[in-house]
């Protein structure tokens, strides 16, 4: 959606950027000219692969271990990015926990984990990023198509946690707009990743729920994120990259 080079001189942090949508987003932003930081918890080798790929594009890049369930580590990743790369212009809140199951099977610890990572972690990262950003800053959050349409049972906790991010995004847009900082949210549909492979046992049913009848790719989501990273007059908005899942 954007032409390469539009983010020259910018610094971007992609949380959960070692694989899937996060890795594709980090590399797309690097192709657009941004230096990038990615966070990971267990995927150190994969995160370092992303760093090497970004460096091969001529960008500076760093992999940071940060657990988004841990409040100090979440905000600390923003500080470490700014220290390593000289500032922060784009935050992509990509990291998230997916947990599906019958309502009666969900425990208090399940609730605490999803809210800690999917809601509190996004808030704290956004708060820390906003404190460092100047005009032109971008906060882009990855939501889910399940905030627009829950196609079946088992999604109560996950849909609730991701739906909170819509309100956060709109409020951030209002609070930060006067400073020239935008906030938007992207809702992926079924996306072919190692956690939800397009040839997996549940893939045919998921694909059938989309208007296009197929899974999307991580790169298709990354393209939308890259557009928003360069867009000046778009804020407080939701964008579906879901193949018509919500149509």
Q: CA distances (Å), 64 to each of 49, 100, 105, 160, 197, in order?
A: 13, 28, 34, 28, 26
Distance separating alpha carbons of residues 87 and 94, to the nearest angstrom? 19
CA 184 distance to own-chain centroid = 11
Q: Which residue has the tokens 């267990």?
A: 42
Distance separating alpha carbons of residues 41 and 9, to the nearest angstrom? 27
158 is catalytic: yes
Tokens of 196: 């939800």
Between helix 44-56 and helix 20-31 the angle, nearest 10°, is: 20
Contacts (Cβ under 8 Å, ≥6 apart) of 244: 189, 210, 211, 212
Cβ atoms 222, 21 nearer than 8 A? yes
Tokens of 153: 């049972």
Q: CA distances (Å), 108 to each of 98, 117, 153, 176, 225, in order?
A: 15, 14, 19, 34, 33
- Of 4, 40, 158, 233, catalytic: 158
Residue 14: strand pairing partners: 38, 92
44: left (phi over 0), alpha (psi -120 to 50) or beta: alpha
Instruction: Give the residue numbers marked as catalytic.
Output: 158
């Amino acid at each position: 959606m954007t032409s390469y080079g539009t983010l020259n001189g910018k610094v971007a942090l992609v949380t959960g950027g070692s694989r899937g949508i996060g890795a594709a987003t980090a590399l797309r932003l690097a192709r657009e000219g941004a230096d990038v930081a990615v966070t990971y918890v267990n995927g150190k080798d994969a995160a370092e692969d992303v760093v090497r790929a970004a460096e091969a594009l001529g960008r500076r890049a760093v992999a940071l271990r940060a657990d988004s369930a841990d409040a100090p580590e979440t905000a600390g990743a923003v500080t470490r990015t700014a220290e390593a790369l000289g500032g922060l212009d784009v935050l992509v809140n990509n990291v998230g926990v997916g947990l599906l199951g019958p309502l009666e099977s969900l425990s208090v610890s399940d609730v605490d984990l999803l809210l800690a990572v999917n809601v509190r972690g996004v808030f704290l990262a956004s708060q820390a990023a906003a404190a460092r950003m100047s005009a032109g800053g971008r906060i882009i959050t990855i939501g889910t198509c399940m905030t627009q349409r829950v196609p079946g049972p088992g999604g109560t906790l996950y849909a609730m946690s991701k739906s909170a991010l819509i309100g956060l995004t709109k409020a951030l847009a209002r609070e930060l707009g006067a400073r020239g900082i935008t906030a938007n949210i992207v809702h992926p549909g079924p996306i072919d990743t190692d956690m939800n492979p397009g040839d997996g046992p549940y893939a045919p049913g998921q694909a059938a729920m989309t208007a296009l009848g197929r899974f999307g790719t991580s790169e298709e989501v990354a393209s939308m994120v890259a557009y928003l990273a360069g867009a000046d007059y778009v804020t407080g908005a939701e964008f579906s990259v879901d193949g018509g899942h919500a149509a």
